[in-house]
Structure 1
Amino acid sequence: MKTAFITGISGQDGGYLAQLLLSKGYKVIGITRNNHPTNLYNLSYLGIQEEILFEEGDLCDLPFVIRILEKHNPQEIYNLAAQSSVGLSFAQPTATIHYNISSVLNLLEAIRIVDSSIKLYQASSSEMFGKVSNLPVTLTTPMHPLSPYAISKATNYWTVINFRESYNMFVCNGILFNHESYLRSNTFFVKKVLQDSFKIKNGKLDHLRVGNIDVKRDFGFAPKYVEAMWLMLQQNDPRDFIICSGRSISLRHIIEYIFDKLSLDKNKVVIDPQLYRPTDILDIYGDNTAAQELLGWSYTLKFEEVLDQLIQEEEQNLTIARA
């Protein structure tokens, strides 16, 4: 039985990854900052909370990280912990950069000290590339991060590579583009649009207030993306991969698609300039060829298919809540 750590296990990706690893016979240990039941909703929703062992602590505390590695001797670590909201990173740049960078550096240093054979997956982000001049994004695309969050992720990306090259460690970056599910936090665009759209449909909200919806992003489905995380640590050699759908879609199209499905009046969409970001990516999508050819990972879903599933799951859970 392999033992795997998942940091950030209470988030969207942490829940689906834990479910995947448990199905493969892993012993899963979740590293959390707070084990309060409200923070473990996603794991409870998936019916796996009782199958996971939890360790509560701060990844910015190197002695804590060393201690839990020595205690559990994991073979694999999936680092998903981060302050991951781009918008919030503008409001809290110091906290975002400090936590995101220190936590990764401590994990890498703890592995080097305790057992350099431990494999690490680091959750990178397409936000690192920011202002791109040529699409699709590949591993050779220059980085021009446009937010404090993106800056922290770019720093982590190169830190992982530095430890890999300096100490011959099996550590790698998974550069995931936007990926959604029912378990997505309501601070993210698609989830916010879904929740507010149902509130409008049910007479609990008058308008959907959004910022710049003419930007485009590469969106996918989270349960499929976590499969790539696992595959990356099963390879003979560590390397970085871009995980994406390979196409972009405008935020405006997503809103219009959801409103059409729910038979809502599009005049209820209000553009609020106060919700614009100081800087923003206009269009971005990636090239997933390497992931398909070298990992054997496949992705064929159109985002409209993902939206259909998200709308259905949102509606089902609202019906259950009202019952």
Structure 2
Amino acid sequence: MKTAIITGISGQDGSYLAKLLLEKNYKVIGTIRSYRCINNKNLKYLGIEKDIILEELDLLDMANVIRIIQKYKPNEIYNLAAQSSVGLSFDQPLGTFSFNTTSVNNLLESIRLFNPSTKLYQASSSEMYGRVKHMPITLETPMHPVSPYGVSKMASYFMITTYRESYNLFACNGILFNHESYLRSDNFFIKKVIRDSIAIKLGKLDKLVVGNLDVKRDFGYAPKYVEAMWKILQSEEADDFIICSGQSVLLRDIVEYIFEKLNLNKSLIIENQDFFRPNEINEIYGNNIKAKKKLDWQYNFSFFDVLDILVDEETRSLKLIHDSQNITNK
């Protein structure tokens, strides 16, 4: 039985990855920042909360990182913990950079010193590339991040490659483009649009307020993307991979598709410039050929297929909550 540590296990990717690893007969250790504020809702939703060992871990404290590596001697570590909101990174640039870089440095150095056979997966991001001159984005595309979050992820990306090349560690970057699921946090665009649109349908909101809809993004489905994470660490040699759909979708088309699916009037879509980012990327999409060939990773979803899944799952969930509240009130 292999042992894997997942930092940031309570998030969207950590929860789906934990489920996948359990199905593959791993012993799964999930790290959280504090026992006092455990958020198990995603693990409970997937029915796996009792199958995971939770450990409190401060990734900014190297002694703490060393302790957990020595305790479990993991075969694999998946580092998914980060300050991952691009918008929030403009409000908290120093905190974002400090956490997203120091946490990775502490993991790398602890592995190098105390368990160099451990394989490390680092959750990198398409935001590292920022504003590019040519698309699709490949590993050879020059990086030009336009957010504090993107800058922090770029620094960690190069630290991973430096430790791999200098110390022969099995350390890999998975450069994931936007990927969505029912478990996505409410502050992310797709989740917010779906939840607010359903709330309009139920008469609980009177309009959808959004930021700039004239930008295009490469969106995918999270449960399929975590398969690629696992496959990356099963490779014969450590390497970096872009995980994406290979297509960009206009945000306006996404919002209007959801409104059409729910039979809502598009006049209720309100763009508010207060929600526009200080520095925006107009379009971004990647090339996933290397991942498909070298990892044998299959991905054939259109994002509108994914939207159908997400809207239906969100609707079912809200209906269950609504029915449960009615029973309680009676």
TM range (shorter): over 0.9
**TM-align CA RMSD:** 0.8
Q: In structure 2, give the amino acid aligned to 1:51.
A: D
CA distance in 2, matches of 1:8, 1:84: 11
**CA deviations over 1:79-131 (Å, ceiling 9, x no partner):** 00000000000011111111111100000010001111100000000000000
1:98 alignment counterpart: 98
CA distance in 1, matches of 2:222, 2:264: 27
2:300 alignment counterpart: 300
1:291 alignment counterpart: 291
Q: Is residue 170 of structure 2 the alignment partner of residue 170 of structure 1?
A: yes
Cα deviation for residue 232 of structure 1 reads 0.5
Q: In structure 2, give the amino acid aligned to 1:231.
A: K
1:235 alignment counterpart: 235
CA distance in 1, matches of 2:150, 2:10: 22
1:186 alignment counterpart: 186
1:245 alignment counterpart: 245
1:205-284 matched pairs, under 5 angstroms: 205-284=205-284
Q: Tell me, what secondary structure is at the counterpart of 1:74?
A: coil
CA distance in 1, matches of 2:199, 2:122: 36
Q: In structure 2, give the amino acid aligned to 1:27.
A: K
CA distance in 2, matches of 1:81, 1:57: 11
**CA deviations over 1:175-233 (Å, ceiling 9, x no partner):** 00000000000110000000110111111111111111110000000000000000000
Cα deviation for residue 35 of structure 1 reads 3.4
Identity of matched residues, %? 59
1:134 alignment counterpart: 134
Q: Is residue 155 of structure 2 the alignment partner of residue 155 of structure 1?
A: yes
1:43 alignment counterpart: 43
TM-score, L = length of structure 2 = 0.97
Q: Is residue 89 of structure 2 the alignment partner of residue 89 of structure 1?
A: yes
1:61 alignment counterpart: 61
CA distance in 2, matches of 1:37, 1:101: 23
Cα deviation for residue 37 of structure 1 reads 6.8
Q: In structure 1, give the amino acid aligned to 2:127.
A: E
Q: Tell me, what secondary structure is at the counterpart of 1:320?
A: helix
Q: Tell me, what secondary structure is at the counterpart of 1:174?
A: strand
CA distance in 1, matches of 2:113, 2:196: 48
Q: Tell me, what secondary structure is at the counterpart of 1:138?
A: coil
CA distance in 2, matches of 1:80, 1:318: 28
Q: Tell me, what secondary structure is at the counterpart of 2:39?
A: helix
Q: Is residue 70 of structure 2 the alignment partner of residue 70 of structure 1?
A: yes
CA distance in 2, matches of 1:191, 1:314: 9
Q: In structure 1, give the amino acid aligned to 2:12.
A: Q
Q: In structure 1, give the amino acid aligned to 2:256.
A: E
Mark the runs of 5 or more structure 2 residues left unpaired by the alignment: 324-330
Contact 2:180 2:219 in 1 (8 A): yes
CA distance in 2, matches of 1:23, 1:210: 38
CA distance in 2, matches of 1:237, 1:106: 23
**CA deviations over 1:240-299 (Å, ceiling 9, x no partner):** 000000000011010000000000010001110010000011001000000000000010
Cα deviation for residue 57 of structure 1 reads 2.0
Q: Is residue 7 of structure 2 the alignment partner of residue 7 of structure 1?
A: yes
TM-score, L = length of structure 1 = 0.99
CA distance in 2, matches of 1:133, 1:177: 18
Contact 2:123 2:176 in 1 (8 A): yes
Cα deviation for residue 36 of structure 1 reads 4.8
CA distance in 2, matches of 1:171, 1:83: 21
Q: In structure 2, give the amino acid aligned to 1:154.
A: M
1:222/1:259 CA distance change after superposition, 3 Å = same
**CA deviations over 1:15-43 (Å, ceiling 9, x no partner):** 00000000000000001102357611100
2:33 alignment counterpart: 33
Contact 2:32 2:38 in 1 (8 A): no
Q: Tell me, what secondary structure is at the counterpart of 1:39?
A: coil
Contact 2:181 2:222 in 1 (8 A): yes
CA distance in 2, matches of 1:139, 1:293: 15
Q: In structure 1, give the amino acid aligned to 2:94.
A: T
